[in-house]
Amino acid sequence: MKKFLKITSVSVAVLMLAACASSPSSADYDKITSQVTQGSFQAKGQASLERLQQDDANRLCSAADVAGQPLDDKTAQMIQAANLKTIKWPADGKFLGDWKNGEKLAQSGRGLTWSDKAESANGGNCYNCHQITKEEISYGTIGPSLYNYGKLRGVTDPNSPAARGVVEYTWVKLWNARAYSACSQMPRVGHNGILGEAEIKDVMALLLDPASPANK
């Protein structure tokens, strides 16, 4: 049915005519891409079209990738400051939960896709990108190894004042890693609702509890 095809192609055609006079600029291509995006996707399951919206952080980091240039310092600081503001600290002041559940969360890559039920629990997706324990050899290398995370940082008692700095740093990394690194590939686990506060505490325990297999 030609009508269907025209909806997605007319954007290209119209903008091509507009740019006919000279070679299209990067901004022209950005515009065409935006129109192609609008016409090419449909909502399915819990995956709404809203997910195509890019916030400042994603828009700027993606543009930098397309240009093949890193972000300038000023823009990076701006993104980091905005994301730092989103950090929610644990209400009860406790940072660590149960590492056994943390390991379960780290193993699970479920949740938030259009084939996942909206009510079902999300996993942390951690092992897809990170090494964590010695025992789990099926780990990804998209992110750095987190094996011996707490041990390497000298954390013997996560509740002590000495460990406070590392504990808070780790919380921020999990809640919203872009607070520290504007274009970090790390998903914004807390800020984007991938895991809730209690679950992030369990992942914190997996990383920082001396009893956790990650630190053995």
Partner 1 sequence: MKKSMVQRQVLAAAALLVGMGAALAQDATATGIAQYREMLQDGNPAELFEMKGEKLWTQNRGPKNATLEKCDFGKGPGVLKGAFVELPRYFADTGRVQDLESRLITCMETLQGYKAEDLYKAAANYGKGESANMVAITTYVVTASKGMDFALPQGNEKEKTMYEVGKRLFFARSGPHDFACSTCHGVDGQRIRLQELPNLTKNPGDGVGFAAWPAYRVSNGQLWTMQKRLNDCYRQQRFPEPKFGSDATIALAVYMGVNSKSAESIVPAIKR
- What residues contact residue 37 under an 8 Å CB cut-off, 6+ apart? 52
Q: Which stretch binds partner 1 (CB under 8 A): 51-59, 88-96, 160-168, 202-210?
A: 51-59
Neighbours of 199 (CB within 10 A): 22
Is 51 an interacting residue with respect to partner 1 (CB under 8 A)? yes
- The CA-atom distances, in angstroms, between 136 and each of 113, 128, 132 are 25, 11, 7
Is 14 an interacting residue with respect to partner 1 (CB under 8 A)? no
d(CA 158, CA 148): 14
Find the binder of partner 1 among 18, 192, 198, 216 (CB under 8 A). 192
Is 37 an interacting residue with respect to partner 1 (CB under 8 A)? yes
Is 174 an interacting residue with respect to partner 1 (CB under 8 A)? no
Is 206 an interacting residue with respect to partner 1 (CB under 8 A)? no
b/e map of 85-118 (b: 16 or more CB within 10 Å)? eeeeebeeeebbbebebbbebbbbeebbeeebee
Find the binder of partner 1 among 14, 18, 49, 198 (CB under 8 A). 49
User: In terms of CB distance, is 2 or 74 closer to partner 1?
Assistant: 2
SS3 47: strand
* Residue pointed to by tokens 């997996």: 206
Is 185 an interacting residue with respect to partner 1 (CB under 8 A)? yes
SS3 44: strand
Is 118 an interacting residue with respect to partner 1 (CB under 8 A)? no
Is 169 an interacting residue with respect to partner 1 (CB under 8 A)? no
Give the residues lining the site for partner 1 (CB under 8 A).
Answer: 1-2, 4-5, 8-9, 11-13, 16, 24, 29-30, 32-33, 36-37, 39-44, 47-49, 51-54, 57-58, 61-62, 65-66, 112-115, 125, 127-129, 134, 137-142, 185, 187-188, 192-194
